[in-house]
Copies of this chain bind each other. A is one copy, B any other.
Amino acid sequence: MNADVAQLVSVAIYSPVPDETVRFFHDLLGMEISHREGRSVYLRAYEDFYQYSLKITEATHAGLEEITWRAASHDALQRCVKAIEASGCGAGWREGDYAHGPAYAFKSPDGHRMKILWELDYFKAPDDLRSKLRNRPSKRPLRGVPVRRIDHVNVMVSDVARNRQFFTNVLTLRLREQKIGEGGVEVGAWLSVSAMVHEIAIMRDATGSRGRLHHLAYWYGAQQHLLDIADIFSERDVRIEAGPGKHGVTQGYFLYCFEPGGNRVELFGDTGYLIFDPDWQTVVWNVANEVDLEKSSIWFGSQLPKTFYRYGTPIVPGASLEEIRSS
């Protein structure tokens, strides 16, 4: 009944311009740098409790390196690993990642690299970052419009149903909302293990590509902050793709932009709505129907451009990736 996966821990991305990418997250989104190692920089939002929620690694192209999940317990981790192995998606145990304990690596059916772990390092604030708010892991920063925590990740897939089944059947996530298109084919899925509507969303890649990253999302919790960061983006030539606006699905207030390396980033206003019903019935939007098509994407605010359905950043960013990683 209860999910064995507990939460999204971090997303690791590639950037061809890592210094600019780090500046974007540090200067504009107010994130803290917690570690540097090799060609990678590790950052966290000021209300992320663990050592990092974002890893940026230099590469020839933008792309997704890896998504990390935390299991609900040590035992839940073992159950997950068993289920993943049985699914044929497993890629074996791995150790030694910064701030992460032993992790089991696997791939989504579409090939997105992921890992799941139980042990990991919490962030311990040094004196100058320690907040008097005992439930806040570090002080609210003075830079930019600081995001509060990682919220969710969205992946593009060649086959929504197949990937969605992996997350519901193998990883025990719950299907909160979905979009069904012509002929009943699944075109979008929003899945979670918590009261949030999604820790991961899966959407059909209109180009037919496999295994791309659509976006990672950070949370503000206040609509005004979407306006504030949009103002700053307009001042500083950060490309806004869409928003601010409100989705029908999830009821989320969104702003989509591209970090300088080319990965799409969503800034998330309030929490949308939360789900406490233990017997939740998936909300189904039939996008073959015109009303659902319109209202599910955009409840109000700017329409989504074609790029939204066609642009993603790939799993393997370039031929030289392995060279870079082994360097």
Given the known A-B contacts A140-B232, A194-B194, A276-B6, are A302 and B299 also in contact in the complex, defined by CB atoms under 8 Å? no
Contact: A225 with B227, CB < 8 Å? no
Contacts of A234 in B (CB 8 A): 132-133, 295, 299-300
Interchain nearest-CB distance for A138 vs B (Å): 10
Contacts of A264 in B (CB 8 A): none
Q: How many copies does the complex hold?
A: 4
Interchain nearest-CB distance for A186 vs B (Å): 16
Contact: B73 with A231, CB < 8 Å? no
Size range of the interface on A?
Answer: 35 or more
Interface hits, A276-293 → B, CB 8 Å: 276-279, 283-285, 291-292
Given the known A-B contacts A2-B2, A135-B283, are A231 and B246 also in contact in the complex, defined by CB atoms under 8 Å? yes
In whole angstroms, what is the CA distance A134 to B286 when docked? 10
Contacts of A225 in B (CB 8 A): 224
Given the known A-B contacts A301-B230, A301-B302, are A251 and B142 also in contact in the complex, defined by CB atoms under 8 Å? no
Q: From the candidates B143, B231, B270, name the one contacting A299 in the complex (CB within 8 A).
A: B231
Interchain nearest-CB distance for A296 vs B (Å): 8
In whole angstroms, what is the CA distance A80 to B276 when docked? 18
